[in-house]
Amino acid sequence: MPFVLKEYPVTVGKKIQIALLQDINLSISFSQRMLSRGRIFDSNHTAYKNGDVIRENSLFIAQFEGHTRGLKPMLTFGDFALFDKPSNLMIHPNSKKTAYSLLDEIRYHFGENANQIHRIDAETSGLLLVGLHEKAINALGAMFENKEYKKSYLALVEGKLDSEISIDSRIEKEKKNIGVRMKAGDTGKESHTIIKPMQYNEKKDITLVEAIPITGRQHQIRVHLYSIGHRIVGDPIYGVDDSYAEEYLNKTLDEKVREKVTGAKRLWLHANYLEFSYKNRTYKIFSKNGDIMHAFKD
């Protein structure tokens, strides 16, 4: 997602905060965010700061300008939308060099004020909720922060899982070579996941399961499933040698090697269901899960 400089007419002599609110009709929070990040300039590329007075009859704001690669929102409502994100797509750019992320599609379809409400890992596919304006983002963000929602995932796991299991193992950083790797045990943050087996593929020796995270810890579903001996197919961090995990994190792991080591070219974890209430209405939304079902049956 590239930065572009957009020019706006303003009134000379006004304080910068007043001009952004009155002349350009920006929100207070967006204005402060742009000022604090040094993204508002005059024609000499000198950044405006809080309290500055407008020096010219126009100013320039460095803004993200989203572009599309054909991904469309799955559902759109008045205040929010949902994307059915494919695997291997980051939600947000991790640097100015990131060529494409889901935020590109969000801003392309809904404009500068739209933003994601929550995150899922780049390799995890499935439902992602997007607020279309500041009030919706704040309200839906508070809902997620307060865990006033229900969600579940589908996963393909190694081996046969016969019955429902409730996993209450605590989760903490492994504190070894792989910095992002977590571990389940008796110490760390309380974590609870319910795993429901749905169907077993004897030929592949994999089970399709529904995973319901009651808490929301980093890598929770992946860690909990690995801890009970049912690693998610395609996981390049859990259940593999450190050398492979390091290569994956450094983006140097060969695709064929990964497939041989982990069983797949991607992590088979899919955000399948989201339920929440907004403005006195309850929404129960399922994703399209064709990819994971296809991988299970083939």
Instruction: Enumerate the active-site residues.
Output: 121
3-state secondary structure 42-99: CCCCCECCCCCECCCCEEEEEEECCCCCCCCCCEECCCEEEEEECCCCCCCCCCCCCC
Q: Rounded to an integer, what distance in angstroms lies between the CA atom of residue 202 and that of residue 205? A: 5
Q: Rounded to an integer, what distance in angstroms lies between the CA atom of residue 19 and that of residue 9? A: 9
User: What are 116's two structure tokens?
Assistant: 């994601």
| Residues, the chain | 298
Tokens 């001996």 locate to: 229
Q: Rounded to an integer, what distance in angstroms lies between the CA atom of residue 37 and that of residue 229? A: 46
Q: Rounded to an integer, what distance in angstroms lies between the CA atom of residue 177 and that of residue 174? A: 8
